[in-house]
């Protein structure tokens, strides 16, 4: 089947001057995948996903792109056995990408059992480019982390793996800049590179590289 209008459009685009082509929009892009089944190949005693895989793919795509474009606020309290303090880490998106946001797209969706794959894209506008300029400050430092989540927990396990990877990155960075264990660390984190997610021995494993802005590092009071 031929599409004359499409052929004409391609011809016009090919003739666009290089100077105009250089003004093409800046796009954040990441490969994303989810399992077509909660635990591939297993149905015995395992509850199937509450949401269809396509919806989970959309949810995870917005989660990852949100971390690459806007980042997260975090609060981390290191564990301290001598003070009977349990380690805790919380993560909140600075801004959630709405599913109707025209800057967000899911492309090249394909099923390759046991995975449903896609490329997720977010097109920067003036506001988000300013946000990126803020993160490009030399004041902020990079860190990397690796975390795991329970494979049987589906999407919750994926997000747990990412949260644990971010916690590890914050902890590793804090150890470099502060020799005394702090009571609490608060700040912002931005995914600087496309994160890696894979399954290994019953766990989701996430590997991330982030830029960190530590706003507060609260020490234990000395009496």
Q: Find where tokens 């530590």 sit.
A: 214
Least confident of 49-63, 84-98, 137-151: 49-63
**pLDDT of amino acid 51:** 60
Residue 111's CB: how many other CB atoms inside 10 A?
11
Give the pLDDT confidence score for residue 118 in this predicted structure: 97
136: CB partners within 8 A, 6+ apart: none
> What is the rounded CA–CA span in Å between residue 177 and residue 157?
31
Q: Which of 5-19, 80-94, 160-174 has the lowest mean pLDDT?
A: 5-19
Average pLDDT over residues 76-84: 90
Residue 175's region, left for phi above 0, alpha for psi from -120 to 50, else beta, is alpha
Question: Phi and psi of 34, rounded to 5°?
Answer: -135, 160
Residues 212 and 145: beta-carbon distance below 8 Å: no
* pLDDT(150) > 70: yes
Which of residues 25 and 8 earns the better pLDDT score? Answer: 25
pLDDT of residue 129: 94
Who has greater pLDDT, 51 or 180? 180
Give the pLDDT score at 82: 85
Q: What is the mean pLDDT of the chain?
A: 85
pTM higher than 0.85: no
What integer is the mean pLDDT of 74-80? 93
- The structural domains of the chain, with segments of one domain joined by +, span 25-218
Give residue 8's pLDDT.
42
pLDDT of residue 34: 96
**Average pLDDT estimate for 156-177:** 96
Average pLDDT value for residue range 124-152: 92
User: Residue range 88-108: average pLDDT?
Assistant: 95
> Given a cut of 60, is residue 18 above it in pLDDT?
no
Hey, what are 212's tokens?
Answer: 């960190």
């Amino acid at each position: 089947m031929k599409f004359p209008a499409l052929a004409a459009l391609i011809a016009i685009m090919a003739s666009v001057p290089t100077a105009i082509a250089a003004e093409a929009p800046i796009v954040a892009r990441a490969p994303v995948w989810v399992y077509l089944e909660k635990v591939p190949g297993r149905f015995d005693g395992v509850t199937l996903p509450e949401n269809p895989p396509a919806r989970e793919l959309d949810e995870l795509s917005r989660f990852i792109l949100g971390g690459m474009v806007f980042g997260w606020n975090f609060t981390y309290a290191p564990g301290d056995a001598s003070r009977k303090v349990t380690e805790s880490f919380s993560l909140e998106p600075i801004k959630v990408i709405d599913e109707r946001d025209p800057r967000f797209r899911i492309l090249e969706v394909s099923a390759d059992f046991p995975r449903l794959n896609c490329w997720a894209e977010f097109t920067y506008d003036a506001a988000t480019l300013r946000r990126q300029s803020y993160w490009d400050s030399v004041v902020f430092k990079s860190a990397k982390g690796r975390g795991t989540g329970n494979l049987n927990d589906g999407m919750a396990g994926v997000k747990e793996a990412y949260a644990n990877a971010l916690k590890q990155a914050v902890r590793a960075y804090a150890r470099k800049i502060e020799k005394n264990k702090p009571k609490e660390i608060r700040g912002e984190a931005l995914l600087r590179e496309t994160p890696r997610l894979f399954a290994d021995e019953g766990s989701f494993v996430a590997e991330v590289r982030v830029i960190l802005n530590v706003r507060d590092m609260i020490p234990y009071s000395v009496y």
